[in-house]
Chains A and B, each alone.
Chain A
């Protein structure tokens, strides 16, 4: 692949998904695009790029999808989910007793493990959300990942990466060598293909947003734009979770750190000194 080809593909990825591909990651192009070359029965990577340059739209979408990281896991890093269970959900229960309706969003849901983890924490919260209207939405640009998320079927390695064994027994049914999310949890969760670079307002408003290990793939300008959009989606006492190795501080002034080492932020509320974030222990 010529330097020109690399620059072309990198620019395409940035425009379509926000993904930044630096030269030190150029090996990813071959690793992730060779399966596309084979599936499309093309001669080699050069032919793939030639067709991309020709503006073949379905191929462009396939290439962007192939280049995205799908890496995720149940209860990834665990401690943010502990905070969700012990602090945010009890506060949310108290704050929403009147309307008995909560909405949570997983932005960058990939193959679904995080949004299902969120749903599991809601069903297992000490304060019962039974009888409440609970909506958990997972969005992602990758249709391939969302297809897997909607199926809710995971192999033995996937269910062991972070999932407590009692949660596995409670929320999954074993099917030969795989484990399928049970119907009750599946009904709580919906998925929609969505690009975080697009307007997010049609998704509605949320009490909790997870956008974990997504921002790391963006440049500063894109991070800021996405964070500003997410801050407008959250209710004024809402909570944002980003990855534990990601930070909002110094990128966007729309959020206040709560436990930044666990990636937990509250919406910054200028002029609302009395309103408390759901992320702060009562």
Chain B
């Protein structure tokens, strides 16, 4: 079973995302900031990472840059998931190595379509 790491400082968002992504057939793991997510990636690299941008301790873009430097980190499919919907912010995330971008709030149809686009289903 493929694995998805959900990184968000909101417990509610992590729960909602986890339910949706489990329904897509993925095992999920949660982390409340970029630092904890990096620790999780050291133990086992996920297939997909759903990454919030604005988090305490370590933000999403710092995590993404560090992930891409790790052995095997370039193969992880990364989806930024944030309330920020400005085109410059989206472009910045893509330039920083993100594969896709989800604007909050999201629903199961949005998540399903993004996973389908990324050929994860």
CB interface residues, B 83-117, toward A, < 8 Å: 85-87, 90-91, 94, 100-103, 106-107, 109-110, 113-114, 116-117
Whether B113 lies near A156 (C-beta < 8 A) is no
Residue interface bits A183-220, CB-to-B below 8 A is 1, else 0: 00000000000000000000000000000000000000
CB distance from B94 to the nearest CB of A (A): 7
Whether B113 lies near A162 (C-beta < 8 A) is yes
Contacts of A57 in B (CB 8 A): none
Whether A165 lies near B100 (C-beta < 8 A) is yes
CB distance from B14 to the nearest CB of A (A): 19
Contacts of A165 in B (CB 8 A): 90, 94, 100-101
Whether A73 lies near B90 (C-beta < 8 A) is no
Whether B117 lies near A162 (C-beta < 8 A) is yes
Whether B85 lies near A156 (C-beta < 8 A) is yes
Contacts of B107 in A (CB 8 A): 157
Contacts of A169 in B (CB 8 A): 87, 90-91, 94
Q: Is A11 an interface residue (CB 8 A)?
A: no
Contacts of A157 in B (CB 8 A): 107, 110
Whether A160 lies near B100 (C-beta < 8 A) is no
Q: Is A75 an interface residue (CB 8 A)?
A: yes
CB distance from A178 to the nearest CB of B (A): 11
Name the interface size band of chain A. Answer: 10 to 19
Q: Known: A160-B106, A164-B100. Is A73-B91 also a contact (CB below 8 A)?
A: no
Q: Is A174 an interface residue (CB 8 A)?
A: yes
Q: Known: A156-B85, A157-B107, A157-B110. Is A164-B117 also a contact (CB below 8 A)?
A: yes
Whether A174 lies near B100 (C-beta < 8 A) is no
Contacts of A78 in B (CB 8 A): 113, 116-117
Contacts of A77 in B (CB 8 A): 116
Contacts of A160 in B (CB 8 A): 102-103, 106, 110, 113-114
Q: Is A166 an interface residue (CB 8 A)?
A: yes
Q: Is A161 an interface residue (CB 8 A)?
A: yes
CB distance from B95 to the nearest CB of A (A): 11
CB distance from B63 to the nearest CB of A (A): 19
Contacts of B94 in A (CB 8 A): 165-166, 169
Contacts of B102 in A (CB 8 A): 160
CB distance from A113 to the nearest CB of B (A): 12
CA distance A157 to B113 in the complex (A): 12
Contacts of B85 in A (CB 8 A): 156, 174
Whether B87 lies near A174 (C-beta < 8 A) is yes
CB distance from A273 to the nearest CB of B (A): 35
CA distance A157 to B108 in the complex (A): 11
CA distance A168 to B101 in the complex (A): 10
CB interface residues, B 58-93, toward A, < 8 Å: 85-87, 90-91
Residue interface bits A146-161, CB-to-B below 8 A is 1, else 0: 0000000000110011
Nearest residue, chain B, Cβ from A168 = B90
Between A75, A160, A166, the greatest number of chain B beta carbons within 10 A of the residue's beta carbon is seen for: A160
Contacts of A174 in B (CB 8 A): 85-87
| Known pairs A157-B107, A157-B110, A174-B87 / 6 extra A-B pairs, C-beta < 8 Å | A78-B116, A161-B109, A161-B110, A168-B90, A169-B90, A174-B86
Closest 9 pairs between A and B when the two form their complex, measured CB to CB: A165-B101, A162-B113, A160-B110, A78-B116, A164-B117, A161-B113, A165-B100, A156-B103, A174-B87
A residues contacting B by CB (< 8 A) are 73, 75, 77-78, 156-157, 160-162, 164-166, 168-169, 174
16 inter-chain pairs at a CB distance below 8 angstroms, sorted by A residue, are: A73-B113, A75-B117, A77-B116, A78-B113, A78-B117, A156-B85, A157-B107, A160-B103, A160-B110, A162-B117, A165-B94, A165-B100, A166-B94, A169-B87, A169-B91, A169-B94
